[in-house]
Structure 1
Amino acid sequence: MNVAFEGDTEQAFGRSALEEALSNVGAGGLSAEVRVSKERRRGRSELFVQVVNTSPANPKARDGNVLSRQLYEVSLQIEGLETQPYMLESLPDSFRYDRRIEAYGHNCGVEAEGGVFRSADTIVVDGGRPEYGTPSPVQPDLSFETLADAPIEQLEILVASFEKWVDEHWEETALLRRKEENGWDDRMMDEALGEAQKAHLEALRIRNGVDLLRRNDDLRRAFKLMNEAMKHSATKVDGKLKYEGWRSFQIAFLLSTISSVLRDDEGDDFVDTVWFATGGGKTETYLGLLVTAALYERIKGRKTGVTAWSRFPLRMLSMQQTQRFANALAGAELVRQREEIPGAYISLGYFVGRESTPNRLAKRPKSGEPDFNDPDMPGRYKVLLQCPFCKHDSLDMGFNRELVKLEHRCNRRGKGCPWKMPALPFYVVDDEIFRFLPTVVIGTLDKAALMGFQASIAGFFAPPNGFCSSIGHGHVYAGRASKKNGCLVWDCEAPVKPLIQPAHWYGLTMRLQDEVHLLRDSLGAVDSHYESLMDHVQQAFPGGARCKVIASSATLSGHDRQVGVLFNRPGRVFPLQGVVSGESFWSSQPDPGKTPGQLLRRYVAVAPRGVTHEFVSDRTVEAMQRGVLRLTKEPEVVCTEAGIDVAHASRLVSFYGVNVVYGNTVRDVEAIRRSLEGQVDVGQLSLNAVTLTGNTSFAEVRKVLNRLEEPEPAYADRIHAVAASSMLSHGVDVERFNIMVIHGLPLTTAEFIQTTARVGRTYPGLVYVLHRMSRERDAASFRQFVPYVKQGDRFVEPVPVTRRSRRVLDLTLPGLAEARRLLVHERTADKALTMIQQYTAFLDAEGMSPQVELEELLQALGFTNEDDHVLRRHVMQWLELWEYSLRNPAPNIVFPSKVLPHGRAPMQSLRDVEPSAPIHTGGFDRD
Structure 2
Amino acid sequence: MSHIKNREMIVETLREELVGPSLRGKPRNFAGNVHFNSSEEAYQPYQQENGEEVVQRDPPIVRYGVGVLYPIGEAFEGEPEQEADAEATQEEPAIRLVDDTFKKELEKAKEHAEREGEPDDDDLELPTYNTLKPSSMGVSFLAELPTDAVLTVTVLGGQYRPKEVTVMDREPYVWWLRKPISFEVGFNVEQLKVNSKVAKVFDAEPLKLSVEVFIRPHQSHHLVTVTLINRTKGATSGRAGNEMCLFQSELRATVTTPKSNAHILPYPSSPQTAFDEEEESLALLYRKRQTFAVGHGCAADWEVSSGQARAILIRSASLPAYETPSITPDIERENGIRLEVPMALLAGLVEKQDGFGALEEVIDRYERWINERTQEAATPELFPYHKAAVHHLADCRSAAKRMRDGLDYLKRTPVAKKAFQLANHAVLIQQVQSKRTLREARFDRSNNRYKFLPPYALPEILNPENPNVGRWRAFQIAFLLMSLQSSVEGSHPDRKRVELIWFPTGGGKTEAYLGLVAFAMFMRRLENPKDTGVHTLMRYTLRLLTAQQFQRASALTSAMEHLRQMRASELGETPFSIGIWLGGATTPNHRKAADHALKELERLGRGENPFILSRCPWCAAPMGIYEGSLPKSIPRALKILGYKRAEGTVRFHCPDRQCEFHSGLPVYVIDEDIYEVKPSLVIGTVDKFAVLAWKPEARTLFGINRLGKRETSPPGLIIQDELHLISGPLGSMVGLYEALIEELCTDRRSETATAPKIICSTATIRSFRHQIKALYNREDVTLFPPPGLEEGDSFFARHARDKRTGELLPGRRYVGVFAPGLRSIETAQERAFAALLQAPMPFSPEERDPWWTLMLFFGSLRELGTSLSLFQSRVPDYLKAIRQRWGLDYYEMRRLRRPEELTGRLRNDEVPKALAKLEIACNADNMWSPESKPVSSPPVDVCLTSSIIEVGVDVDRLSLMAVVRQPKTTSQYIQVTGRIGRKWWERPGLVVTLYNPKNARDISHFEHFRSYHEKLYAQVEPTSVTPFSPSVSDRALHGVMAAYAMQMGNEAIQESPQPYPYELVGQLQTILMPRVRSVDPREANYFEEVFNRRAREWQTRERTKWYTNNQSEDIPLMVRAGEFVSSERERLSWKTPTSMRNVDAECQAHITMHYLADNESEDSHA
1:401 aligns with 2:645: yes
**Paired residue for 1:904?**
1134
**Paired residue for 2:1155?**
none
More divergent stretch after superposition (689-698 vs 783-792): 783-792
- For residues 644-659 of structure 1, the aligned pairs below 5 Å read 649-650=845-846, 652-659=847-854
**8 Å Cα contact 1:310/1:443 also seen in 2:** yes
2:400 partner letter: A
**Paired residue for 2:830?**
618
Other structure's SS at 1:858 match:
helix
Other structure's SS at 1:442 match:
strand
Question: Are residues 662 and 197 of structure 1, via their aligned partners in 2, closer, same or farther at CA, if it must alter by over 3 Å?
Answer: same
1:108 aligns with 2:298: yes
**Paired residue for 1:222?**
419
Question: Are residues 423 and 666 of structure 1, via their aligned partners in 2, closer, same or farther at CA, if it must alter by over 3 Å?
Answer: farther
**Paired residue for 2:777?**
568
Report the Cα distance in structure 2 between the residues aligned to 1:527 and 1:451, rounded to whole angstroms: 13
More divergent stretch after superposition (719-728 vs 619-628): 619-628
Residue in structure 1 matching 2:436, options 228, 237, 253: 237
Report the Cα distance in structure 2 between the residues aligned to 1:888 and 1:404, rounded to whole angstroms: 32
1:434 partner letter: Y
**Paired residue for 1:326?**
554
Q: Aligned-pair distance for 1:620?
A: 2.5
- For residues 414-813 of structure 1, the aligned pairs below 5 Å read 414=658, 417=659, 419-465=660-706, 505-539=712-746, 542-543=749-750, 545-570=754-779, 571-590=781-800, 598-611=809-822, 612-631=824-843, 635=844, 649-650=845-846, 652-681=847-876, 682=879, 683=893, 685-710=895-920, 714-715=926-927, 717-762=938-983, 763-813=987-1037
Report the Cα distance in structure 1 between the residues aligned to 2:962 and 2:361, rounded to whole angstroms: 44
**8 Å Cα contact 1:134/1:586 also seen in 2:** yes
**Paired residue for 1:311?**
539
1:249 partner letter: F
**8 Å Cα contact 2:155/2:183 also seen in 1:** yes
- For residues 834-873 of structure 1, the aligned pairs below 5 Å read 834-837=1055-1058, 839-840=1059-1060, 843=1061, 848=1063, 854-859=1069-1074, 868-873=1084-1089
2:249 partner letter: V
Question: Are residues 796 and 535 of structure 1, via their aligned partners in 2, closer, same or farther at CA, if it must alter by over 3 Å?
Answer: same
**8 Å Cα contact 2:970/2:1019 also seen in 1:** yes
Number of matched pairs: 837
**Paired residue for 2:483?**
257
1:118 partner letter: R
**8 Å Cα contact 1:205/1:256 also seen in 2:** yes
Other structure's SS at 1:290 match:
helix
1:51 aligns with 2:195: no
**8 Å Cα contact 2:407/2:481 also seen in 1:** yes
Unpaired runs of 5+ in structure 1? Answer: 1-5, 466-476, 479-501, 636-648
Q: CA RMSD in A?
A: 3.9
Q: Aligned-pair distance for 1:812?
A: 1.6
More divergent stretch after superposition (673-682 vs 390-399): 390-399
Q: Aligned-pair distance for 1:349?
A: 1.4
Report the Cα distance in structure 2 between the residues aligned to 1:849 and 1:661, rounded to whole angstroms: 52
1:146 partner letter: L
Report the Cα distance in structure 2 between the residues aligned to 1:309 and 1:321, rounded to whole angstroms: 13
2:701 partner letter: F
Q: Select the structure of larger CA radius of gyration.
A: 2
Question: Are residues 364 and 219 of structure 1, via their aligned partners in 2, closer, same or farther at CA, if it must alter by over 3 Å?
Answer: closer
Report the Cα distance in structure 2 between the residues aligned to 1:864 and 1:851, rounded to whole angstroms: 20
Q: Aligned-pair distance for 1:798?
A: 1.4
Question: Are residues 823 and 915 of structure 1, via their aligned partners in 2, closer, same or farther at CA, if it must alter by over 3 Å?
Answer: same
**8 Å Cα contact 2:857/2:964 also seen in 1:** yes
Residue in structure 1 matching 2:355, options 147, 151, 157: 151
Q: Aligned-pair distance for 1:163?
A: 1.9
- Once the two structures are superposed, residues 367-419 of structure 1 have per-residue CA deviations (whole angstroms, 9 ceiling, x without a partner) of x99869856589612423432211344555555433233344433331xx3x3
TM-score by length of 1: 0.82
**Paired residue for 1:283?**
510
Q: Aligned-pair distance for 1:518?
A: 1.4
Question: Are residues 677 and 550 of structure 1, via their aligned partners in 2, closer, same or farther at CA, if it must alter by over 3 Å?
Answer: farther
Identity of aligned residues (%): 24
Q: Aligned-pair distance for 1:296?
A: 2.1
Q: Aligned-pair distance for 1:684?
A: 6.1
**Paired residue for 1:496?**
none
Question: Are residues 369 and 714 of structure 1, via their aligned partners in 2, closer, same or farther at CA, if it must alter by over 3 Å?
Answer: closer
Report the Cα distance in structure 2 between the residues aligned to 1:383 and 1:108, rounded to whole angstroms: 49
Other structure's SS at 1:745 match:
coil
Question: Are residues 889 and 306 of structure 1, via their aligned partners in 2, closer, same or farther at CA, if it must alter by over 3 Å?
Answer: closer
Question: Are residues 263 and 374 of structure 1, via their aligned partners in 2, closer, same or farther at CA, if it must alter by over 3 Å?
Answer: farther
**Paired residue for 2:656?**
412
Report the Cα distance in structure 2 between the residues aligned to 1:515 and 1:228, rounded to whole angstroms: 27
2:347 partner letter: A
1:300 aligns with 2:531: no
1:880 aligns with 2:1104: no
Q: Aligned-pair distance for 1:76?
A: 2.6
Q: Aligned-pair distance for 1:677?
A: 3.6
Q: Aligned-pair distance for 1:248?
A: 0.8
**Paired residue for 1:95?**
284
**Paired residue for 2:195?**
none
Q: Aligned-pair distance for 1:274?
A: 0.3
1:565 partner letter: A
2:525 partner letter: R
Question: Are residues 47 and 268 of structure 1, via their aligned partners in 2, closer, same or farther at CA, if it must alter by over 3 Å?
Answer: farther
- Once the two structures are superposed, residues 654-677 of structure 1 have per-residue CA deviations (whole angstroms, 9 ceiling, x without a partner) of 332111100001222222333234
- Once the two structures are superposed, residues 254-311 of structure 1 have per-residue CA deviations (whole angstroms, 9 ceiling, x without a partner) of 1111113323223121211100111111111111111222222232234532221111
Report the Cα distance in structure 1 between the residues aligned to 2:319 and 2:672, rounded to whole angstroms: 55
Question: Are residues 258 and 773 of structure 1, via their aligned partners in 2, closer, same or farther at CA, if it must alter by over 3 Å?
Answer: farther
**8 Å Cα contact 1:850/1:883 also seen in 2:** no
More divergent stretch after superposition (691-700 vs 298-307): 298-307
Report the Cα distance in structure 1 between the residues aligned to 2:54 and 2:1040, rounded to whole angstroms: 79
Report the Cα distance in structure 2 between the residues aligned to 1:849 and 1:510, rounded to whole angstroms: 25
Report the Cα distance in structure 2 between the residues aligned to 1:452 and 1:331, rounded to whole angstroms: 35
Other structure's SS at 1:751 match:
helix
Question: Are residues 580 and 538 of structure 1, via their aligned partners in 2, closer, same or farther at CA, if it must alter by over 3 Å?
Answer: closer
1:73 partner letter: Q
**8 Å Cα contact 1:110/1:119 also seen in 2:** yes
Report the Cα distance in structure 1 between the residues aligned to 2:614 and 2:725, rounded to whole angstroms: 27
Report the Cα distance in structure 1 between the residues aligned to 2:476 and 2:719, rounded to whole angstroms: 16
**Paired residue for 2:370?**
166
1:606 partner letter: V
Question: Are residues 919 and 729 of structure 1, via their aligned partners in 2, closer, same or farther at CA, if it must alter by over 3 Å?
Answer: farther
1:175 aligns with 2:391: no
Q: Aligned-pair distance for 1:47?
A: 4.4
Residue in structure 1 matching 2:410, options 213, 233, 247: 213
